Protein backbone atom coordinates (compact mmCIF):
# COMPACT_ATOMS: atom_id res chain seq x y z
CA UNK A 1 0.00 0.00 0.00
CA UNK A 2 1.44 3.32 -0.97
CA UNK A 3 1.94 5.93 1.66
CA UNK A 4 -0.48 8.22 -0.17
CA UNK A 5 -3.21 5.55 -0.17
CA UNK A 6 -2.65 4.85 3.53
CA UNK A 7 -2.94 8.55 4.30
CA UNK A 8 -6.16 8.86 2.29
CA UNK A 9 -7.70 5.86 4.04
CA UNK A 10 -6.63 7.16 7.46
CA UNK A 11 -8.04 10.60 6.70
CA UNK A 12 -11.34 9.10 5.55
CA UNK A 13 -11.51 7.02 8.75
CA UNK A 14 -10.83 10.06 10.97
CA UNK A 15 -13.38 12.10 9.02
CA UNK A 16 -15.93 9.35 9.54
CA UNK A 17 -15.22 9.04 13.25
CA UNK A 18 -15.59 12.81 13.67
CA UNK A 19 -18.86 12.86 11.77
CA UNK A 20 -20.21 9.92 13.76
CA UNK A 21 -19.22 11.63 17.01
CA UNK A 22 -20.95 14.82 15.87
CA UNK A 23 -24.06 12.78 15.16
CA UNK A 24 -23.88 11.23 18.61
CA UNK A 25 -23.58 14.64 20.26
CA UNK A 26 -26.31 16.31 18.23
CA UNK A 27 -28.54 13.26 18.05
CA UNK A 28 -28.55 13.43 14.25
CA UNK A 29 -28.90 9.87 12.90
CA UNK A 30 -27.94 11.01 9.37
CA UNK A 31 -24.54 12.23 10.61
CA UNK A 32 -24.02 9.00 12.54
CA UNK A 33 -24.80 6.86 9.50
CA UNK A 34 -22.70 9.00 7.14
CA UNK A 35 -19.78 8.77 9.56
CA UNK A 36 -20.07 5.01 9.79
CA UNK A 37 -20.25 4.81 5.99
CA UNK A 38 -17.01 6.80 5.68
CA UNK A 39 -15.34 4.49 8.17
CA UNK A 40 -16.55 1.52 6.16
CA UNK A 41 -15.15 3.07 2.99
CA UNK A 42 -11.78 3.49 4.69
CA UNK A 43 -11.83 -0.17 5.75
CA UNK A 44 -12.63 -1.26 2.19
CA UNK A 45 -9.78 0.88 0.86
CA UNK A 46 -7.38 -0.69 3.34
CA UNK A 47 -8.53 -4.20 2.47
CA UNK A 48 -8.18 -3.55 -1.26
CA UNK A 49 -4.70 -2.11 -0.84
CA UNK A 50 -3.67 -5.04 1.38
CA UNK A 51 -4.84 -7.43 -1.34
CA UNK A 52 -2.80 -5.52 -3.94
CA UNK A 53 0.24 -5.73 -1.67
CA UNK A 54 -0.23 -9.48 -1.20
CA UNK A 55 -0.45 -10.04 -4.96
CA UNK A 56 2.58 -7.87 -5.57
CA UNK A 57 4.57 -9.75 -2.92
CA UNK A 58 3.55 -13.10 -4.42
CA UNK A 59 4.58 -11.97 -7.91
CA UNK A 60 7.87 -10.59 -6.63
CA UNK A 61 8.69 -13.93 -4.92
CA UNK A 62 7.84 -15.95 -8.03
Q: Which residue has the higher pLDDT, 29 or 61?
A: 29
CB of 35 closer than 8 Å to CB of 60 = no
Q: What residues does each domain of the chain span?
A: 3-61
pTM: 0.82
- 21-25's contacts with Cβ under 8 Å and 24+ in sequence apart are none
Distance (Å, whole) CA 41 – CA 59: 27
Question: What pLDDT score was predicted for residue 1?
Answer: 58
pLDDT in tens, 9-28: 999 999 999 999 999 999 99
Question: What pLDDT score was predicted for residue 55?
Answer: 93
As a whole number, mean pLDDT of residues 35-53 equals 93
* Helix 3-26 with 29-61: angle, nearest 10 deg: 160
Amino acid sequence: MSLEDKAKAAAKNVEGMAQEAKGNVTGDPADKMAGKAKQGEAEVRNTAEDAKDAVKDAVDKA
